[in-house]
Amino acid sequence: MLEANDLARYFDVSRPALQRLIAREPRRTLRAVDGVSFTIPKGQTLSLVGESGCGKSTVARLVVGLYPPSDGTVAFDNQPLSVARADPAQRQRMQMIFQDPYASLNPRWRVRDIIAEPIRAFKLVDGKDAILARVGQLLTQVGLAPADGEKFPHEFSGGQRQRISIARALSSNPEFLVCDEPTSALDVSVQAQILNLMKELQRSLGLTYLFISHNLAVVRQVSDRVGVMYLGRIVEQAPAETLFTTPRHPYTRALMEAIPDLDMTGRTRIPVGGEVPSPISPPSGCAFHPRCPLANDRCKAERPLAQPAGESLVACHAVEEGRG
Amino acid sequence: MTAPLLEVRNLRVEFHTRRGTLTALNDVSLTIAPGEVLGMVGESGAGKSMTGAAIIGLIEPPGRIAAGQVLLDGRRIDNLRYDQMRQVRGRQIGAIFQDPLTTLNPLYTVGRQLVETITTHLPLNPAQARKRAIEWLEMVGIPAAAQRIDSYPHEFSGGMRQRVVIALALCAEPRLIVADEPTTALDVSIQAQVIALLKRLAREKGTAMLLVTHDMGVIAETADRVAVMYAGRIAEIGPVRDIVKAPNHPYTAGLMASIPPLDRRVDKLAAIEGSMPRLSAIPPGCAYNPRCPRVFDRCVRERPDLLDAGTTRAACWLHAHG
């Protein structure tokens, strides 16, 4: 359904030209996404996980065309993304759900107008009554009542607003949904409702998801395949069960070790040392080497490429050499 | 049991608005012993941060403490004048907030902020205070502390900044720390480092801590006892192991069940239907009754107080005996 090949996105974060000239500074680029490849088969969910600044949200935006890529390609249903984006009939097949349901809904619009906007824009249904009927149907589908369409966003709780966002995304009958942290602004009991709803919709409508999250436990619940990102690259990619039962990359293992777990009451863990380096001046070789317990001279000098290891794709010299 | 360091008795916080009075906290009572970590969990708007703010005397108008008492070492601190409370804050109670960038003054070096706090509360001269500040920065794990002390907050990363905030909260050696979501703004790998640090310092110094967070994992690892808040009240309070593994309040049970497990995939997560009521629309009887799977007629009529439920205390009529 979707294929990303060596996708990259750089941002110019230089200071203004005059200041650069005075201070004799070079241009500075931030490599937010630096060579990311994946495919998502129809009806499946690929999740990208990683800490803040690893580039996962940038990938989400590249995939729906909100940013043009600096390098690499995205193919949607075997056609280049730029071609697909130019054609309304193709464009309506992809939609996005954002993190913050307080910021992504227009507070001055009634919910029915918010949900009807894509229907009107793509001219999917004709006539006021038919549109209203479709909106009612969508609201029912996400667990709200058709009468809720008359209300404004502020009358709803966070979880209900996220349901409205989902209804809006579904209104153009998409096949592919990009979900950027759809539950991280929600409380845990409500998060479970939204995750259940998304899984149900995937089953009934055959949706394909690209799911972006920093929460590994959430990712485990929804994914078929998972990519772990670190400083703009995918360091490990594997079927969800494989990744969680046999994590191979030292960073993946460190991430899992770092999560406080309910069963670990009173247990002391050994946290990973150090911090995520700046993507403006990433470390040489493998970006994880300053924090990695397995790093050696090769890791400092040479950037590891993704190699198959069992069912996984792992970018790590230590794993490749069997030092892991 | 040792005498509690902090005692909160029947605390009630109200907000007067044009549309009437909202009760943000209602009849909250708790104690924290020296060296003990009390976790406080709940959904947003449940009143957990409000409890922390009430204890350190930082409730802003139109909010006010309408009833109840806060006692530190048996002495009331909720009715102190502003300048008296300032002496208590910092010296007796240290505060750590969620966002390390807004806690620190961006215009002063980290060292100046630490030295100011130390000289205000401890009988040390500036040179001694600076030495003490460097020791604290080392203690919270800032490398090259003697050099970094003259850096400004923006020169530190998020995790390092939160360490500075922790040093700032601890440097006057308070006996109680109120930590409001201290790790929420941090990435998991940094979060683990900060939790380990807080735990170690609390143990070494015998400091009591109120740890407010929505992350049950953090609570499970750090707290000795837990209070679960719902709609401005404590729904259940008890030892962390019992709250997590064998909760007695249906809300706590629902909350625990809705946390996605990391070690397995479940087909359907156990969600609690609906959402927490707004403060302006708390239902009569038990506030949880519209969402409760075990609701019965008494829950709709009468509000339960905290009742003895064996290992924990739960505000639920299921535990009414006789």
Q: Is the ipTM of this complex over 0.90?
A: no
Q: Is the pLDDT of residue B112 over 90?
A: yes
Lowest mean pLDDT of B124-128, B195-199, B245-249, name the range: B195-199
Distance to chain A for B213, nearest Cα, Å: 11
Distance to chain A for B8, nearest Cα, Å: 26
- Mean per-residue pLDDT, A133-145: 93
Which of A61, A104, A48 lies closest to A230, judged by CA?
A48
Q: Is the pLDDT of residue A313 over 90?
A: yes
What percent of chain A has a predicted confidence (pLDDT) above 70? 97
A259 part of contact set with chain B, CB < 8 Å: yes
Domain spans of chain B, in order of start: 6-231, 243-262+283-321
pLDDT at A252: 93
B217 part of contact set with chain A, CB < 8 Å: yes
- A259 to B217: CB separation less than 8 angstroms, yes or no: yes
What percent of chain B has a predicted confidence (pLDDT) above 90? 51
pLDDT at B45: 84
Q: Cβ of A251: how many Cβ atoms within 10 Å?
A: 26
**Higher per-residue confidence, B194 vs B65:** B65
Q: How many CB pairs under 8 A join A and B?
A: 134
pLDDT tens, residue by residue, B216-251: 888 888 899 999 999 999 999 999 999 999 999 999
DSSP letter for each residue of B251-287: HHHHHHHTSPPSSS--SS--PPSS-PPPGGGPPSSST
Lowest mean pLDDT of A119-123, B105-109, B269-273, name the range: B269-273
A158 part of contact set with chain B, CB < 8 Å: yes
pLDDT at A28: 83
pLDDT at A170: 94
Can you name the CATH fold of B6-231? Answer: Rossmann fold (3.40.50)
- B196 to A271: CB separation less than 8 angstroms, yes or no: yes
pLDDT band at residue A324 using 50, 70 and 90 as cut-offs: low
Contact A84, A263 (CB under 8 A): no
List the single best residue of B187, B216, B245 to mutate versus A (max A Cβ within 10 A).
B187
- Mean per-residue pLDDT, B182-189: 78
**Neighboring chain A residues of B188 at a CB cutoff of 8 Å:** 51, 214, 255, 258-259
Picking from A190, A196, A218, the nearest residue to B268 by CB comes out as A196
Q: Max alpha carbon distance in chain A (Å)?
A: 69
- B271 to A52: CB separation less than 8 angstroms, yes or no: no
B105 part of contact set with chain A, CB < 8 Å: no
- Give me the residues paired with residue A239 across strands: A225
pLDDT band at residue A270 using 50, 70 and 90 as cut-offs: low
- A196 to B269: CB separation less than 8 angstroms, yes or no: yes
List the single best residue of A189, A256, A276 to mutate versus B (max B Cβ within 10 A).
A189
DSSP letter for each residue of A119-135: HHHTT-S-SHHHHHHHH
pLDDT at B1: 53
Contact B236, B249 (CB under 8 A): yes
Mean pLDDT taken over chain B: 89
pLDDT tens, residue by residue, A160-179: 999 999 999 999 999 999 99
Picking from B215, B221, B270, the nearest residue to A192 by CB comes out as B270
B20 part of contact set with chain A, CB < 8 Å: no
Q: Is the pLDDT of residue B274 over 90?
A: no
What percent of chain B has a predicted confidence (pLDDT) above 70? 99
Lowest mean pLDDT of A115-129, A237-251, B93-107, name the range: B93-107
**Neighboring chain B residues of A220 at a CB cutoff of 8 Å:** 260-262, 264-265
- Mean per-residue pLDDT, A66-74: 92
Q: Is the pLDDT of residue B264 over 90?
A: no
Under DSSP, the state recorded for B319 is G
pLDDT band at residue A269 using 50, 70 and 90 as cut-offs: low
Q: What are phi and psi of A304, to 5 degrees?
A: -75, 145
Nearest CA in chain B to A216: B262
Residues 6+ apart with CB under 8 A from A79: A90
Residues 6+ apart with CB under 8 A from A94: A64, A76, A84, A174, A175, A176, A177, A178
Nearest CA in chain B to A53: B187
- A261 to B193: CB separation less than 8 angstroms, yes or no: no
- Mean per-residue pLDDT, B6-31: 92
pLDDT at B261: 87
What is the helix, strand, coil percentage profile of chain A, to 5?
40, 20, 40
Interface list for B 144-173 with A (CB within 8 A): 157-160
Nearest CA in chain B to A259: B188
A245 part of contact set with chain B, CB < 8 Å: no
**Neighboring chain B residues of A275 at a CB cutoff of 8 Å:** 157-160, 190
**Neighboring chain A residues of B244 at a CB cutoff of 8 Å:** 262, 265
Alpha helices in chain A (DSSP H): 17-23, 56-63, 81-86, 88-91, 111-121, 128-141, 158-170, 188-205, 216-222, 240-245, 250-258, 297-301, 317-320
pLDDT band at residue A236 using 50, 70 and 90 as cut-offs: very high
List the single best residue of A54, A148, A187 to mutate versus B (max B Cβ within 10 A).
A187
- Mean per-residue pLDDT, A265-272: 57
pLDDT tens, residue by residue, A164-221: 999 999 999 999 999 999 988 888 888 999 999 999 999 999 999 999 998 999 999 9
DSSP letter for each residue of B156-183: S-HHHHHHHHHHHHHTT--SEEEEESTT
A189 part of contact set with chain B, CB < 8 Å: yes
pLDDT at B142: 84
pLDDT at A1: 86
Interface list for A 42-71 with B (CB within 8 A): 51-52
Q: Is the pLDDT of residue B172 over 90?
A: no
**Neighboring chain A residues of B48 at a CB cutoff of 8 Å:** none
